[in-house]
């Protein structure tokens, strides 16, 4: 039995990296997925990969920093599929700077993309889930949501905020039969980390007990668990998938 059979799922930032892995995995488990991304080519590529194995997916061009786009994505779910069961708030960007190096524009870009987007998408997804009896939200935080990091002031704050938002939504919407959880990945091999020069990345390889970066699919499998009925008693939780980074 497929674990997400006939579930309707929105995955933000599913054109590349972790979001792409989640979308492909969800579709292989029977979900109909809405790929929401600012990058048209990458989003359409994910849809094509899903259709190759007979999965169902559509692409929606959206900038989730914008309230109007977040609202539009949830409307697409309703218009195309008549319901919305799962929202994965995955989009995230990084600026690697200390507080004194960070400009106001950079601060707003990171906070708006990583945190405000999750507020917007959830704000419009929840009423739709309520209409059809419940749902499930997974917010992608980071190990940076649990500990401090050097030169990641705006990113770190945004990821701590994601955990707070997750916990509040889990409390407020438990009576609506909506579960809300956060996932905190450690470093993964995705376009986000591949854009950082190798010499800057090397120290990070030694910061977890497995001395390696994750493949995105390894974290996507944890997200699948949270999205599935197997996690029926799991809400308001912060799942860590960091190969031991935060234990050291």
Ligand X SMILES: NC(=O)c1ccc[n+]([C@@H]2O[C@H](COP(=O)([O-])OP(=O)(O)OC[C@H]3O[C@@H](n4cnc5c(N)ncnc54)[C@H](O)[C@@H]3O)[C@@H](O)[C@H]2O)c1
- State in angstroms the smallest separation of the CB of 58 from ligand X: 15
Instruction: Say whether 109 is catalytic.
Output: no
- State in angstroms the smallest separation of the CB of 51 from ligand X: 18
Counting Cβ atoms within 10 Å, is residue 166 exposed (0-12), middle (13-18) or buried (19+)? Answer: buried
CB 57, CB 50: distance < 8 Å: yes
Sole binder of ligand X in the list 122, 136, 190, 235 (CB under 6 A): 190
Q: Which pair of structure tokens corresponds to residue 39?
A: 């990058």
- State in angstroms the smallest separation of the CB of 147 from ligand X: 12
Q: Is 111 in the site for ligand X (CB under 6 A)?
A: no
Tell me the window of 1-9, 25-33, 48-56, 189-197 that interacts with ligand X (CB under 6 A): 189-197
Q: Is 39 in the site for ligand X (CB under 6 A)?
A: yes
Q: 177 or 194, CB closer to ligand X?
A: 194
Sole binder of ligand X in the list 74, 102, 142, 208 (CB under 6 A): 142
| Residues identified as active-site | 155
Residues in touch with ligand X (CB under 6 A): 12-13, 15-19, 37-39, 42, 62-65, 90-93, 113, 140, 142, 185, 187-188, 190-193
């Amino acid at each position: 039995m497929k674990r997400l059979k006939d579930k309707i799922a929105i995955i933000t930032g599913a054109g590349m990296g972790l979001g792409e892995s989640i979308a492909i995995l969800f579709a292989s488990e029977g979900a109909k997925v809405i790929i929401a991304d600012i990058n048209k080519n990458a989003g359409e590529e994910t849809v094509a990969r899903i259709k190759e194995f007979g999965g169902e997916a559509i692409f929606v061009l959206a900038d989730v920093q914008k309230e109007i786009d977040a609202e539009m994505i949830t409307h697409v779910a309703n218009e195309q599929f008549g319901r919305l069961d799962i929202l994965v708030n995955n989009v995230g960007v990084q600026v690697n700077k200390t507080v004194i190096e960070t400009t106001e524009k950079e601060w707003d870009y990171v906070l708006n993309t990583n945190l405000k987007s999750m507020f917007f998408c959830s704000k419009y997804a929840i009423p739709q889930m309520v209409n059809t009896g419940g749902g499930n939200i997974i917010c992608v935080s980071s190990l940076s949501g649990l500990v401090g990091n050097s030169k990641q002031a705006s990113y770190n704050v945004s990821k701590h905020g994601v955990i707070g938002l997750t916990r509040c939504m889990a409390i407020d919407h438990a009576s609506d039969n909506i579960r809300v959880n956060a996932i905190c990945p450690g470093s993964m091999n995705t376009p986000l980390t591949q854009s950082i020069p190798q010499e800057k990345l090397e120290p990070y390889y030694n910061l977890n007990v497995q001395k390696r970066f994750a493949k995105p699919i390894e974290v996507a499998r944890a997200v699948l668990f949270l999205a599935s009925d197997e996690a029926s008693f799991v809400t308001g939780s912060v799942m860590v998938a960091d190969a031991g980074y935060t234990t050291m």
